[in-house]
Amino acid sequence: MKQLNNPFIIYGYKGADYFCDRQEETQKLIDALHNERNVTLIAPRRVGKTGLIQHVFSKISQTDSQAKCFYLDIFATKNLEQLVQLMARTILGRLDSTPQAALRRIQEFFGSLRPTVSFDQLTGLPSVSLDIRPTEEAQTLKRVFEYMHRSDYRCYVAIDEFQQILSYNDKGIEAILRSYIQFLPNVYFIFAGSMQHLMEEMFTSANRPFFQSSQIMQLHNIDSTSYHAFANRFFRQQNREMTTDAFSHLYRRVDGITWYAQSVLNRIYQYADSGITPDFIDHVITELVSEQEPVYQNYYASLTETQAGLIVAIAKEGVVATPLAHQFITHHQLKATSSVRTALKTLIDRQMVYDRPDGYVVYDRFFGLWLARL
């Protein structure tokens, strides 16, 4: 791969050289899939679950010619029909040796749905859309799974933001998916999600269809020591070095969350002539936060008075273990406990506040830093 201008990747996956650590998690996922176990991968957004999945799939593709890996982010889907169309575009035609074979098999499985097939001019890979009639979504999904089942490959399918299916109006979607998935002997799944309480309820509650159907895996922050070594490997190419104190300062400011750390490191790398001191790191963070100020102003303007007061209070505290406690409410001059409780639920539902084991935090760390300055 051509060397990148900036090795600190913010979006996408650019290869193992630019992927930090996660050796244990990578092997754990590969071992589970190889030994025919589905995996439920739970992590807050921007911790790096998508990058980990792509890293795992890259390694599998390099070592197993009989494996095919598919990644789907279903966050933007609103119903079962959109999910099926996304699966069709991602999977159909990718399990055949030639375009002719792909067309033949697609016609065999989906001829009644008038499939439209186009081929990428650079990669030659097909993209398929289907004419799915109302009430036929579930049956079409079954055909997509059958298409994988009858291939000569082991198929690994990662469905990111899997909790999104709970927002569909389609009744019984969990049971439908579970009933199809359990009869696919050559297809294995990674169910990834960022809303911990919803994902845990889906996969650990005895009355839910996906109960005990997969191996549960929580993804945590990258170890600070490993991350520091990774960063210095690239800074030394610029004849610079980041001290332990400087990196610890950065790590604390962004709470160890991968995407925010990468964003700061990417910008530091850009300023190749600057010394990497805590003051310079603060300057870079201020620059990044300020660039998003119009966005954050709109976020803030969309909140009620109680919601705004609560999220600012959480931002100033950093982590709040008991936001309904009398002392916290009084100190920050918030309204009645019932109002704060309602506001907290709304902020969590809007994914502006996140409930983690040690307390509540502002989900977007840069937004939290902006709020703390108000």
Within-domain flag for 5: no
Question: For the chain, what is the largest distance between any 2 Cα atoms, rounded to a whole number of angstroms?
Answer: 70
173 contacts 210 by C-beta, under 8 angstroms: no
Confidence of residue 117 (pLDDT cuts 50, 70, 90): confident
Same domain, 75 and 180: yes
d(CA 12, CA 266): 14
Within-domain flag for 196: yes
State the average pLDDT over residues 282-300.
98
Name residues whose C-beta falls within 8 Å of residue 268's C-beta, 6 or more positions apart in sequence: 235, 274, 276, 280, 281, 284
- 126-129 vs 215-218, strand pairing mode: unpaired
- Give the CATH number of the domain where residue 211 resides: 3.40.50.300
Q: What's residue 303's pLDDT?
A: 98
Same domain, 142 and 62: yes
Between these two residues, 150 and 125, which has the higher pLDDT value? Answer: 150
pLDDT higher than threshold 70 for residue 1:
no
261 contacts 251 by C-beta, under 8 angstroms: yes
Give the end of a domain, one of 270, 291, 312. Answer: 291
Same domain, 179 and 321: no
Same domain, 169 and 191: yes
Confidence of residue 83 (pLDDT cuts 50, 70, 90): very high
State the average pLDDT over residues 165-174.
93
d(CA 321, CA 254): 19
Same domain, 185 and 327: no
What mean pLDDT, rounded, does the chain reach?
95
d(CA 40, CA 38): 7
CA 347-77-39 angle, 5° bins: 85
pLDDT higher than threshold 90 for residue 97:
no
Give the end of a domain, one of 246, 267, 291. Answer: 291
Q: 137-149 and 80-91 are packed helices; what angle lies between their axes, rounded to 10 degrees?
A: 30
- Give the CATH number of the domain where residue 306 resides: 1.10.10.10
**Number of domains, the chain:** 3
Q: What's residue 126's pLDDT?
A: 77
Same domain, 197 and 278: no
Give the end of a domain, one of 218, 248, 282. Answer: 218
Confidence of residue 96 (pLDDT cuts 50, 70, 90): confident
Same domain, 260 and 359: no
Element (H, E) at 128: strand 126-129
Same domain, 332 and 274: no
Within-domain flag for 114: no
Same domain, 264 and 304: no
Between these two residues, 157 and 171, which has the higher pLDDT value? Answer: 157
Radius of gyration of the chain (CA): 23
Within-domain flag for 360: yes
Burial readout 160-176 (b: 16 or more C-beta within 10 A, e: otherwise): bbbbbbeebeeeebeeb
Within-domain flag for 121: no
d(CA 84, CA 270): 42
State the average pLDDT over residues 295-318.
98
Confidence of residue 9 (pLDDT cuts 50, 70, 90): very high
Show the tokens assigned to 47: 């911790």
Specify burial of residue 151 (Cβ count, 10 A radius: 0-12, 13-18, 19+).
middle
Show the tokens assigned to 220: 């945590």
Q: What are phi and psi of 134, to 5 degrees?
A: -55, 145
Confidence of residue 67 (pLDDT cuts 50, 70, 90): very high
Indicate the range of 86-95, 123-132, 254-263 predicted with least confidence: 123-132
Q: What is the pTM of this model?
A: 0.93
Within-domain flag for 111: no
Q: What's residue 234's pLDDT?
A: 98
Within-domain flag for 16: no
d(CA 37, CA 181): 12
pLDDT higher than threshold 80 for residue 268:
yes
Q: What are phi and psi of 359, to 5 degrees?
A: 145, -170
DSSP code at position 161? T
Within-domain flag for 282: yes
Show the tokens assigned to 146: 């059958």
Show the tokens assigned to 254: 């962004």
| Dihedral over Cα of 266, 272, 277, 281: its sign | negative
Indicate the range of 54-68, 95-109, 277-291 predicted with least confidence: 95-109
Q: Residues 176-209: pLDDT tens digits?
A: 999 999 999 999 999 999 998 899 999 999 999 9
Same domain, 170 and 42: yes
d(CA 93, CA 128): 8
Question: Which residue range forms the structural domain that includes residue 82?
Answer: 22-97+133-218
Same domain, 272 and 182: no
Indicate the range of 13-27, 104-118, 228-242 predicted with least confidence: 104-118
